[in-house]
């Protein structure tokens, strides 16, 4: 969690590790619009910290708006 507070943008493989999903799932979510990401030129995709935080479960146990469950 400390890594999340230091970084402002994440690579798809980092997001996959944090969310315990496969890289392929993350790329699929980017391509179908469920996961907002940006790509500068031909470089790798980047996902913002704010987007990632919306996908994480809240401390109360319910999921925040824009979560994986509501997107499915």
How do the domains of the chain map onto residue ranges?
A: 2-59
Report CA-CA distances (Å) from 52 to 5, 35, 42, 48, 68.
11, 9, 22, 6, 11
Pair type for strands 38-39 and 9-10: unpaired
pTM over 0.75: no
**13-30: buried (b, 16+ CB within 10 Å) or exposed (e) per residue?**
ebbbebbebeeebbbebb
pLDDT of residue 40: 85
Read off the pLDDT of residues 7-65 as tens digits, 9 standing for 90 and up: 999 999 999 999 999 999 999 999 999 999 999 899 889 999 999 989 887 776 554 45
pLDDT in the model for residue 63 = 46
Handedness of CA 14, 49, 28, 40 (dihedral sign): negative
> Which fold does the domain 2-59 belong to in CATH?
Multidrug-efflux Transporter Regulator; Chain: A; Domain 2 (1.10.1660)
pLDDT, position 3: 64
């Amino acid at each position: 969690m400390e890594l999340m507070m230091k970084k402002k943008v994440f690579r798809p493989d980092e997001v996959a590790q944090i969310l315990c999903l496969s890289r392929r799932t993350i790329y699929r979510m980017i391509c179908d619009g469920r996961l907002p990401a940006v790509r500068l030129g031909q470089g790798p995709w980047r996902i913002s910290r704010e987007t990632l935080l919306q996908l994480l479960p809240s401390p109360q146990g319910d999921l925040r708006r824009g979560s994986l469950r509501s997107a499915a």
